[in-house]
A and B are shown apart, each in its own frame.
Chain A
Amino acid sequence: MSERKAILQVKGLQTSFFTDDGVIPAVDNIDFSVHEGEVLGIVGESGCGKSVTSLSIMGLVPSPPGKITGGKILFGDKELTKLSDKEMRNVRGNDVAMIFQEPMTSLNPLFTIGNQLMEAILIHKKGWSKKQASARAVEMLTLVGLPRADELMKEYPHQLSGGMRQRVMIAMALVCDPKVLIADEPTTALDVTIQAQILALMKDLNERLNTAVLLITHDLGVVAETCERVVVMYAGQIVEEGPVQTIFKDPQHPYTKGLLQSVPDMRYKKQRLYSIPGNVPKPGSVNTGCRFAARCEFAFDKCLTQNPDLYQTATVHKTRCFLYEDQEVSTHDRTLVES
Chain B
Amino acid sequence: MTEPLLKVEGLKKYFPIRKGLLSRVSGHVKAVDDVSFYVNKGETLGIVGESGCGKSTTGRMLMRLLEPSEGKVVFDGKELTSISSDDMRKARREIQMVFQDPYASLNPRHTIEKILEEPLIVHGIGDAKTRKKKVHDFLEIVGLSSYHAKRYPHQFSGGQRQRIGIARALMTNPKLIIADEPVSALDVSIQAQVLNLMQDLQKELNLTYIFIAHDLGVVRHISDRVGVMYLGKMVEIAESELLYDKPLHPYTQALLSAVPVPDPNFVREQILIKGDIPSPSNPPSGCTFHTRCPFKMDVCTKIVPKLEEVEPGHSVACHLYGEHAQQ
Contacts and interface: CB of A to CB of B under 8 A. Distances in A.
A-B complex is real: yes
B255 A224 contact: no
A159 interface: no
Interface residues of A, number: 46
Interface string A143-173: 0000000000000000001011000000000
A269 interface: yes
Interface in A176-224: 191-197, 199-200, 218-224
Interface string B267-288: 0001011001100000000000
B188 A262 contact: yes
Given A224-B266, A275-B192, A192 B258 contact: yes
A245 B221 CA distance: 25
Contact of B217 (A200, A223, A226, A266): A266
Contacts of A264: 192, 195, 215, 217-218, 220-221
Contacts of A95: none
B260 interface: yes
A2 to B, nearest CB: 18
Interface in B250-267: 254-266
Nearest to B221: A264
B285 to A, nearest CB: 21
A70 to B, nearest CB: 27
A273 B195 contact: yes
A260 B262 contact: yes
Contact of B259 (A192, A244, A249, A270): A192
A75 B1 CA distance: 67
Contact of A272 (B199, B220, B244, B266): B199
B276 A224 contact: no
A258 B191 CA distance: 12
Interface string A234-276: 0000000000110011000000001110111111011011111
A221 B261 contact: yes
Contacts of B215: 264
A242 B182 CA distance: 33
Given A45-B187, A218-B188, A279-B190, A269 B261 contact: no
Contacts of A277: 193
B246 to A, nearest CB: 13
30 contacts: A163-B276, A191-B50, A191-B214, A192-B216, A193-B272, A193-B273, A195-B258, A196-B258, A196-B272, A218-B188, A221-B217, A221-B260, A221-B261, A225-B261, A226-B260, A263-B217, A263-B262, A264-B217, A264-B218, A264-B221, A265-B263, A266-B244, A267-B266, A269-B220, A269-B221, A273-B196, A276-B192, A276-B193, A280-B187, A280-B190
Given A45-B189, A270-B221, 19 more contacts: A45-B190, A161-B276, A161-B277, A191-B51, A191-B214, A193-B255, A193-B272, A196-B260, A200-B272, A218-B188, A220-B262, A224-B262, A225-B261, A260-B262, A263-B188, A264-B217, A264-B220, A266-B244, A277-B193
Interface of B: 50-51, 157, 159-160, 187-193, 195-196, 199, 214-218, 220-221, 240-241, 244, 254-266, 270, 272-273, 276-277
